[in-house]
Structure 1
Amino acid sequence: MSDGIEALRHRIDSTADLQSVVRTMKALSASNIGQYERAVHALEEYNRTVELGLMACLRQADVPLLVTEPQASANVATGVIVFGTDQGLVGQFNDLLADYVTHSLSALPGDKQVWVVGERMRDRLEDSTLPLVDLLHVPNSLNAVTTLVGQLVVAVETARERGKISGLCLYHNRPGEISGHYEPVNQRLLPLDAAWQQQLRAQPWLTNKLPETLGSSLQTLAALIREYLFVSLFRACAESLASENASRLATMQRAEKNIGEMLEGLTHSYHQLRQEGIDAELFDVLAGFGCTLQNTPLKS
């Protein structure tokens, strides 16, 4: 009986420790969601500034409408960036995005070169026919996001300058409207969409003083496109991290509920087993006391 009680006590202590770990992970995920969502919101104004710069450049007479469709070539591929996770406890986060990526790219003609962010996403895409160019690790802070995005921009520009890719597509999970939900999305970053360029050209300027670019308009445009890539990749990475933490938070909430129910059941079993042990001990005492009374001779 005592061995069973001690084993049950040990299980209760282990379950309580696991519950404490889950609560800590919940708090950490909730905190991370807030900082990444704030980062996405803060990018809106900077993104607007970049768009205004592009609008000013595209309004110049010496800047033609940029090429919007890649030239067909057997040696030129489409670049693809996929944001996944390095860690687990995120449910179907990587599986859903991997299925979305493979299905979407199967309809895209030509070869592809894929940069994968996250070891677990790499594992999901390895079984496909997509050629994986490089693996990058998921950042664990906003400062690390800046470093990662800088590496991606350099890698993309180098591949374009060497003629290895003619376009760039981006895939990641974005937080949904319902808390804990997310959805896979994609965006074609390069070449710039023709309708988007025409829309920028047609927008009225904010004041009656029309903007002008200093120096070469094409060089300024190239610098702004670089900033456009940086902002787009940073926002995608932040949205992916917010989605990852939201998924982990939902997983931890379900785990906490299950652990609570398990702990309640174990505690009930422990008290029941302990009470049975106490009852057995009382029964033995009473039985022994009864035998003592029977064996005690009566005094005259």
Structure 2
Amino acid sequence: MNGSVSFAAACMRSGILVRQIGCNHRNSSRNANRSLLARWQNSDRSIRILRIAELPYTCIAAWRLGVSGMIDSDVFDFVERCRKHTATGPLLGDLLETVRNLGFEHLILSGVPLGGQKLAPMVELNGWPAGWFERYVAAEHAAVDGVCIYSAKTLKPFFWADVPAKWSDTEGSRRVAGEATEFGILSGFAVPMLSVHHWQSVLSFASSQKSCSLSPRQQVQLVTMAVYAGMSIQALSNNDDGDEGPLTDREKEVLLWAAAGKTSSETSQILGLTERTVKWHSTRAREAFGVATTTQAVVEAVRRRLIHP
């Protein structure tokens, strides 16, 4: 047995997968090694020795074996690609393809609806099964879905199954979970995150498996990709918005005076407008943010750094 084969055998005995690097044919190499990984995982433990001759290239490096087949370089590759995506469609496809290695077939990235907000305008990446998103929105499931509700109350990533019973064990939440199974959604993992465009956002990954099983390392991999996907969406949205933003200068003025505690009547006198016009600008500002009250609009404008009271 030559030195290279001995090295490979030693790596396997240590729980390490030998993987080629430094080649130009990156994608074909990754696919080849995934095939080798699957063969190694399915083989008897006593004969798990990988011949170096099976690798397409002789330049090798040791990588710690992951049960799912995802390795850290896959995450870093995705993060690098995020910088190059110029539209949401390719980003969604890339993320879906990558997280399949962790057992997830569907995902959605959205702002978390609060105070009567509608979900549909807040969705930024929609990888839900055909028909499920439409039913979810039409039935206003976001108002009773335990996963959605809990996403507004924590910034800690969580398995859907771990949502506290206070929100997951209601009749409405159980109904949502039951209907989701009709579309092949049985379990999932959610990554709440702060957002410039919403009070809070969540990237929720869905699986057809009855329960999700992720190691702590795999959870970190998933959270890393979710955060970078969210950052990329935010950057794309900022580019689309240009310099105009969601509010006109007059709407910002009206919100500034509202933040200072002025009534519509007082603001109309300060700005030299009719009270009806001030109320109209307030209404437009609320519609721009999808909120129910002027106070909520003020809070949202401050959070997005559109006004500085």
For the aligned pair, the TM-score class normalised by the smaller chain equals: under 0.3
Q: TM-score, normalised by structure 2?
A: 0.24
Q: TM-score, normalised by structure 1?
A: 0.25
Higher helix fraction (1 or 2):
1
* Greater relative contact order (Cα < 8 A, sep 6+): 1
Rg bigger for which structure?
A: 1
